[in-house]
Amino acid sequence: MARLITCTPKRFLAIVRSNSYLYPPQTRHSKLQTGEQFEVTASSVSEKRTSLERFRLKKALKTLGKKEGRGTELVSLFVPPGRQIAEVMSMLRQEYGTASNIKSDTTRKNVQDAITKVMQRLKLFKEVPNNGLVIFSGAIPQNGPGSERMETYVIAPPKPINIYLYRCDPKFHTEHLEDQLREEEAYGIMVVDSTDTTIATLEGNRLQIIREETSGIPGKHRAGGQSARRFERLREANLLAYFKRVGNHANNIFLPVPNLRGLIIGGPGSTKYDFQKGDFLNYMLKQKILDTVDTAYTGEQGIEEVVARAPEILKRVRYVEEKKIVQDFLYQIGHDTGLATYGQEDVKKALEAGAVQTLLLSEGLNTLRVTVKCSACGLEQQEILKESALPQFQQSLIGQLCSNCKASSLSVIEDRDLIDDFAELAEQAGASVEIISIESEEGQMLKNSFGGIAAIMRFKLSS
Ligand SMILES: [Zn+2]
């Protein structure tokens, strides 16, 4: 029987590259800064899971996590699949009634407004979607006290949620969605030495010890009267049989695990290397070995030692992956093969020609494509700016005259992350997208020397 251990929440899987669910582009751009609403809907189009989807959800959750109300007045609602909308509505009506007891006029109004918004959103659904539904709503100060504006966000979770939760707090409760991000990936852990082996799986915070296997091999010291050679031969034969048993169990346990991203092998001595070198593990699992680490203990304690080091191991794995991707790009550039390009315009051209195999986007890009519209004549213009320059840019539009009709009615109607922009192009062109962190030297180079946007190509573009 498998035992279930729930570890204290560890944040480690968030740093690994996902290949996780498709978290599609927001149907409208977030406009989070300007305090409007956004909606993230799950798509059934594709099961493809990329570093991009992860990036999008991470970013949305980060933005939501930072929002704070003036008081205890931000509403978070988690509805699991299978609940009746009518039941949730009646719970919300009750909460609305309870809120009428709040003494502060402002807080009472804000809470009741938030509940109303949530109900309005909920009403749009005939039934709860397959993965459930998450709605956040509340009055968020835009610029100091008194500048609150109602913001409402609807998120379709990437995986079924299993909690029914209504909360009214100074912050939105995003942690359950953050957990889902981590749980997207599974890892296999084995702690091997000559006396026993423990096999476990790690999915998000869920560590499951699946099997313990003992070798039955006596210690290294032979009994009196036994010849040394015979003792060694027997020991080796026993070890071989034990490795075979362990290998079979590991294959049976790990091969069926969906989303198995890798395997970590631990153990106190050198036995783990002997096991790893031999042909005991299925070749597909061998390819997934991320690291082999020394532990002080075997058994469950050994497994926990490996888990404690997992964040660092996984981070290093992604680090190496990212370095390889950027190095591949640098090789093509350095050898002038014509199979790489960079910069917004050239990459866009290559994408449109269907020539891009891998699109590299720097996590440090922080750049927006902003659409400015004149409400008097309807003229629309686009600008590319740094994320941090947006407030100043918006300020600069006040009083600025439209180049077409000379009215002073310019405003930002959309701001879109350049990463989303390019990622969408890549999706249409069938190119894979890699979001590259700025943690490695190569990642820094991608950001600083190549403008954060680069491509490795399938074929040369004739110029
Ligand atoms: Zn105009």
Q: Give 414 Cα–ligand 1 centroid separation in angstroms.
A: 17
Q: Give 412 Cα–ligand 1 centroid separation in angstroms.
A: 13
- Amino acid letter, 294: D
Six token digits for residue 35: 């305090």
Q: Give 367 Cα–ligand 1 centroid separation in angstroms.
A: 26
Chain position carrying tokens 């449109």: 352
Q: Give 151 Cα–ligand 1 centroid separation in angstroms.
A: 29
In this structure, the dihedral spanned by the alpha carbons of residues 335, 340, 341 and 342, taken in order and rounded to 10 degrees, is: -90
- Phi-psi category of 294—alpha, beta or left, where left has phi over 0 and alpha has psi -120 to 50? beta
Q: Give 386 Cα–ligand 1 centroid separation in angstroms.
A: 25
Q: Give 30 Cα–ligand 1 centroid separation in angstroms.
A: 25
pLDDT surpassing 80 at residue 352: yes
Q: Give 385 Cα–ligand 1 centroid separation in angstroms.
A: 21
Six token digits for residue 183: 């749980």
The SS3 call for residue 153 is: strand
Q: Give 91 Cα–ligand 1 centroid separation in angstroms.
A: 48
Q: Give 380 Cα–ligand 1 centroid separation in angstroms.
A: 9
Contact call for residues 260 and 158 (beta carbons, < 8 A) = no
Q: What digits encode the pLDDT tens for the residues 225-263?
A: 668 888 888 888 999 999 999 999 999 999 998 778 899
In the 8-state DSSP scheme, what is residue 411? E
pLDDT given for residue 315 in this prediction = 79
Q: Which residues pair with 196 in a beta bridge?
A: 214
Helices (H), 255-371: 271-277, 283-287, 299-334, 344-352
Half-sphere exposure (CA, 13 Å, Cβ side) for 351?
Answer: 26
311, 259, 315, 356: which is closest to 443 by C-alpha? 315
Q: Give 150 Cα–ligand 1 centroid separation in angstroms.
A: 30
pLDDT surpassing 90 at residue 70: no
SS (H, E, C) 221-287: CCCCCCCHHHHHHHHHHHHHHHHHHHHHHHHHHHCCCCCEEEEEEEECCCHHHHHHHCCCCCHHHHH
Find the angle CA(152)-CA(99)-CA(84) to the nearest 5 degrees: 60
Q: Give 458 Cα–ligand 1 centroid separation in angstroms.
A: 44
Q: Give 398 Cα–ligand 1 centroid separation in angstroms.
A: 13
Q: Give 374 Cα–ligand 1 centroid separation in angstroms.
A: 5
Find the angle CA(90)-CA(91)-CA(97) to the nearest 5 degrees: 90
Q: Give 401 Cα–ligand 1 centroid separation in angstroms.
A: 8
Q: Give 418 Cα–ligand 1 centroid separation in angstroms.
A: 26
Q: Give 348 Cα–ligand 1 centroid separation in angstroms.
A: 29
Give the Å distances, CA to CA, from 320 to 51, 58, 83, 356.
15, 21, 44, 22
Q: What digits encode the pLDDT tens for the residues 276-304?
A: 999 999 999 999 999 999 999 999 999 99
325, 347, 355: which is closest to 445 by C-alpha? 325
Burial of 436 (0-12, 13-18, 19+ CB in 10 A): buried
- 7-11, 322-326, 330-334: least confident range: 7-11
pLDDT given for residue 219 in this prediction = 66
pLDDT given for residue 368 in this prediction = 92
Which helix (H) or strand (E) is 183 found in, with range?
helix 175-183
254, 208, 301: which is closest to 6 by C-alpha? 208
| Confidence band of 220 (pLDDT split at 50, 70, 90) | low
The mean pLDDT value of the chain amounts to: 83
**pTM for the whole structure:** 0.61
pLDDT given for residue 147 in this prediction = 79
| Confidence band of 159 (pLDDT split at 50, 70, 90) | confident
Find the angle CA(336)-CA(338)-CA(343) to the nearest 5 degrees: 95
Q: Give 13 Cα–ligand 1 centroid separation in angstroms.
A: 49
pLDDT given for residue 53 in this prediction = 64
Q: Give 229 Cα–ligand 1 centroid separation in angstroms.
A: 94
pLDDT surpassing 90 at residue 414: no
Q: Give 381 Cα–ligand 1 centroid separation in angstroms.
A: 11
Q: Which residues pair with 373 in a beta bridge?
A: 380, 411
Q: Give 123 Cα–ligand 1 centroid separation in angstroms.
A: 38
pLDDT given for residue 128 in this prediction = 93
Q: Give 370 Cα–ligand 1 centroid separation in angstroms.
A: 17
Contacts of 370 (CB under 8 A, 6+ apart): 382, 383, 384, 385, 390, 393, 412, 414, 415, 416
Find the angle CA(303)-CA(305)-CA(306) to the nearest 5 degrees: 65
Could you give phi then psi for residue 48, rounded to 5 degrees? -65, 135
- Mean per-residue pLDDT, 188-193: 95
pLDDT given for residue 3 in this prediction = 42
pLDDT surpassing 50 at residue 427: yes
Number of C-beta neighbours around residue 39 at 10 A: 14
Total count of residues recorded for the chain: 463
Q: What digits encode the pLDDT tens for the residues 19-54?
A: 222 222 233 333 333 333 445 544 333 334 456 666
Q: Give 26 Cα–ligand 1 centroid separation in angstroms.
A: 29
pLDDT given for residue 40 in this prediction = 53
131, 114, 127, 150: which is closest to 43 by C-alpha? 131
| Long-range CB pairs of 398-403, under 8 A, 24+ apart, other chains included | 402/374, 402/376, 402/377, 403/379
Q: Give 378 Cα–ligand 1 centroid separation in angstroms.
A: 6
